[in-house]
Amino acid sequence: MGMRGKVLGLTGDEAVAYAIKQVEPDVVAAYPITPQTIIVERISEYVANGEIKTEYIAVESEHSAMSACIGAAAVGARAFTATASAGLAFMWETLYIAASCRLPIVMAIVNRALSAPINIHCDHSDSMGARDSGWIQIYCENSQEAYDAAIQAWKIAEHPDVLLPVMFCLDGFVLSHTLENVHTLPDEDVKEFIGERKFVKVRSHEGREVPFVLDPENPITIGPLDLYDFYFEHKRQQVEAMKNAKKVIVDVGREYGKISGREYGLLEPYKLESAEVAIVGLGSTMGTAKVVVDKLREKGRKVGLLKIRAFRPFPYEEVIKELEHVEVIGVLDRSLSFGAQGGPLFLEIRSAFYDFERRPLISNYVYGLGGRDMPPDLIMQIFDDLEKIKEKGRVDVLLKFIGLRE
Amino acid sequence: MSGEKLSLKDLARKRDLLAPGHRLCAGCGAAIVARLVMKATRGPTIVACATGCLEVATTIFPYTAWRVPWIHSAFENVASTASGIEAGLKALKRAGKLKYDHVDVIAFGGDGATYDIGFQAISGAFERGHDILYVLYDNEAYMNTGIQRSGGTPKYASTTTSPAGKVIPGKLELKKPISHIMVAHRIPYVATASPAYPLDLMRKVRRGLEVEGPAFIHILAPCPRGWRFDPRYTIEMARLAVQTCVFPLWEAENGKYKLTGVSRSIARNPKMKKPVEEYLKRQGRFRHLFTPENRHLVDEIQKIVDEEWNWLLKMCQLS
Amino acid sequence: MTERLPGWRDIPIGGVAFKPSEEYKTGDWRVFRPVLNKEKCNRCYLCHFYCPEGAIKVLDTGDIEIDYDYCKGCLICVNECPRGALESVQE
């Protein structure tokens, strides 16, 4: 059912661009950066050929890309942008503003390492650095997931209980430039699924309940000077919105399953039943890891995998539910938090288990920085290591670097 | 489309779109500028504001002084925020989702936001040709953070980061010729204005809204605190700046320069041009120039002003 | 502060301001007050345009009225009035 769409051979970037074409946002404001370029090139072509009526703003920087999205979203338009690495870093200030102004902007992040030295290949330091900006973060394993996220993101962002911007992340080159078969939906199904953007009501300074949008008939002020009397309260509202997002991501993922046959949640367990050791990770590496799990399972080894899809909001309870029976957990991080005990994902997972009565052994494996390859045999080594930890009953080295030359 | 004829009598009865109760300083030039600009609007209007005096003092949460839809995003991005607003409105109109025939978009930036940190965003927005009016209210330093020098601070002015010291007599660099740079962007309308001449200012704002494409209006906004003068003299300073040709009034439509108002009269009757000293000596930020050893610096300023004025006359083909 | 401020559930989202600035009276900043001599006023309205506060209103009758709730006492109007119709008086 609902499988009326075409199967297209698309790279990850093309899959995103194709989904955005079907969504047809009012405004796309973007600045080209490797490996995101294909997305903005394709969208520009769609606009140039009259396939979509989107207003494409070829801004002069990523800072202006997000700023233009803020302006467009504030006036009631649907706004999309895409970036990577330095581009996301350059947007930093405005990321927080977009989220704090509660503007449902959607952005594709094509994950790429941060300078210096300059590197164009994949790791997650760019988006992981933005994890506290107030954006919802969804990580994709393959082009299909990127396509699907590019559609679901709008429904999540614009939900009245959420009203937060969404970034969905796909690995640079590994996904962005690699051709895959992608099941697409018919245009009309996408349009119907997304619907029209609606606006919640807010109390304006004129004492009326008015739509939360810049409208000359119902003036509101967005982005005032907010000092110690109310700033904290505004942050608390964002906490609540992020909490609400958990349910909305699941609801939207389920609804999307009905029209596409592909249901999504906050995370994806893989062969975790009766698993004694498991790895937790996100992004394209999880595809390779699933193959490794299959191989090891064939050999009778009790291994499994948990893929995190939503990193913000982070699904603490769900993680515990999936992993409560696992004895040793290996967390895979494709970015660093210099000076911390481990990578960003490790810190979340370890923290999640603090209040759990039976704490599993948890070890951190940082891999793939600057595009360093993560072939199956390295993942195999991690499982070997996890089983060794299980035998010893303790973690000797908390943080290990995988694929690094000593 | 040419607009209705504006008159002070009519405009005086128009409801202010910047309400009282804002907390800009007594005698603030920027407040006068913003009021006058908003008086000259012609219909549905959305305002975007860069971080700065005007932004912080008019929207101290939970209060706001703006009777139009208003957004502040950041310091350096008001031109790109306004670009997004304009593009969003355009797209919504095309999709039949806009209930207005047209909505004007005005961006306000101070000199910090315009000459310095937001310069790139303005240049980009103007190159792309967005139909926005950018208003620069120029108080010639970072007044909001405590009078630090900007690219718009005039030569030899003393600020907290270009203080007049024992060795260095204030800011050593020239004021950036921002409006001429904007003319060079080949946008349809650029003008300068002074709050001392409200009708000239409001006519220019209206013209800036009427043209299709980007418009830039550079308005001098004397700052009693930063320039060190009694608040009652704000308009006097704004007037002296024009009368001395430190800040001439002109407009350039499609790149064609034309003097307006008092500046036009001075061009016709050069005797009307007052010496810069009359302007400088009234302000504490130039006080250090009026010592025997620094006297030549006043002469230097006069020379610079004369040269720039003559250049402008040439541009207006009036010399 | 004696006024109890609303909690996070009771204020609009997104930092949308919910009070007009008119509720904040700036008149108590004033040290000197401008006082209008109606006889001398010729209704040029320059004071109205020069007022940073919008505190000098033009009434339907065409008369000028100073709103002391907001006048901060900068005295630009006193300095600029071409007819000398405004004078400053210490509060």
Domain CATH code at residue A371: 3.40.50.920
List all chains that touch chain C, counting a touch as 3 or more CB pairs closer than 8 Å: A, B
Same domain, A16 and A150: yes
Same domain, A181 and A251: yes
Which of B59, B63, B237 is most worth mutating to test chain C (most C CB atoms within 10 A of its CB)?
Answer: B63
Domain covering B8-315 in this structure, CATH number: 3.40.50.970
Whether chain A has a CB inside 8 Å of the CB on C12: the answer is yes
* Region A375-386 average pLDDT: 98
Same domain, A18 and A139: yes
For the residues of B49-91, what is the DSSP string, one character each? E-SSHHHHHH-BTTEE-BSS-EEE--SS-HHHHHHHHHHHHHH
- How many Å is the maximal CA-CA distance in chain A? 70
pLDDT tens-digit series, residues A148-158: 999 999 999 99
Q: Contact B85/A74, CB-based, under 8 Å?
A: yes
The residues, any chain, with a CB within 8 Å of residue A80's CB and separated by 6 or more, are: A20, A23, A25, A27, A28, A30, A69, A105, A106, A107, A108
- Minimum CA–CA partner of B238 in chain C: C50
H or E, element range at A221: strand A221-222
Of residues B19, B21, B31, nearest to C52 (C-beta): B31
Q: Rounded to an integer, what distance in angstroms lies between the CA atom of residue A177 and that of residue A11?
A: 5
Q: What are phi and psi of A350, to 5 degrees?
A: -65, -40
Same domain, A64 and A193: yes
A384 domain residue, yes or no: yes
Break chain B into its structural domains and give their ranges.
Answer: 8-315
C-alpha distance from C57 to closest chain B C-alpha (Å): 8
pLDDT along chain B (319 residues), means of 10: 76 96 98 98 98 98 98 98 98 97 98 98 98 98 98 98 97 98 98 98 98 98 98 98 98 97 97 98 98 97 98 86
pLDDT tens-digit series, residues C5-46: 999 999 999 999 999 999 999 999 999 999 999 999 999 999
Q: In what order do the strands lie in the sheet with A27-29?
A: A55-57, A27-29, A79-83, A106-111, A166-171, A136-139, A310-312
Cis peptide before C6 (omega within 30 of 0): no
- Minimum CA–CA partner of A100 in chain C: C14
Of residues B9, B18, B63, nearest to C19 (C-beta): B63
Q: Which domains does chain C have, with CATH numbers?
A: 36-91 (3.30.70.20)
Q: Rounded to an integer, what distance in angstroms lies between the CA atom of residue A362 and that of residue A343?
A: 12
- Domain limits for position A340: 267-402
Residues 142-181 in A contacting C (C-alpha not used; CB under 8 Å): 163
A16 domain residue, yes or no: yes
- Side-chain half-sphere exposure of B10, counting CA atoms within 13 A: 9
Same domain, A245 and A297: no
A378 domain residue, yes or no: yes
A342 domain residue, yes or no: yes
Query: What pLDDT shows up at residue B318?
Result: 65
Whether chain C has a CB inside 8 Å of the CB on A222: the answer is yes
A163 domain residue, yes or no: yes
Whether chain A has a CB inside 8 Å of the CB on C3: the answer is no
Query: What pLDDT shows up at residue B3?
Result: 53
- Which residues of chain B are within 8 Å of residue C72 when distances are taken between CB atoms? 25-27
Whether chain A has a CB inside 8 Å of the CB on C18: the answer is yes
Same domain, A254 and A271: no
Using alpha carbons, select from B294, B272, B65, B44 the residue that is nearest to residue B169.
B294
Confidence band of A1 (pLDDT split at 50, 70, 90): very low
Same domain, A305 and A161: no
Mean pLDDT of chain A: 97
Give the number of other Cβ atoms within 10 Å of residue A393's Cβ.
9
A133 domain residue, yes or no: yes
Q: Rounded to an integer, what distance in angstroms lies between the CA atom of residue A335 and that of residue A401?
A: 11
- Which residues of chain C are within 8 Å of residue B11 when distances are taken between CB atoms? 49
Same domain, A273 and A132: no
Give me the percent of chain A exceeding a pLDDT of 90.
Answer: 98
- Minimum CA–CA partner of A96 in chain B: B73
List all chains that touch chain A, counting a touch as 3 or more CB pairs closer than 8 Å: B, C
A379 domain residue, yes or no: yes
Query: What pLDDT shows up at residue B1?
Result: 39
Same domain, A246 and A282: no
Residues 241-260 in A contacting C (C-alpha not used; CB under 8 Å): 241
Whether A111 and A174 have beta carbons less than 8 Å apart is answered as no
CA angle (B192, B197, B198) in 5-degree steps: 95
Q: Contact B124/A60, CB-based, under 8 Å?
A: yes
Q: Contact A227/B61, CB-based, under 8 Å?
A: yes
pLDDT tens-digit series, residues A2-26: 467 899 999 999 999 999 999 999 9
Same domain, A182 and A271: no
Q: Rounded to an integer, what distance in angstroms lies between the CA atom of residue A116 and that of residue A100?
A: 30
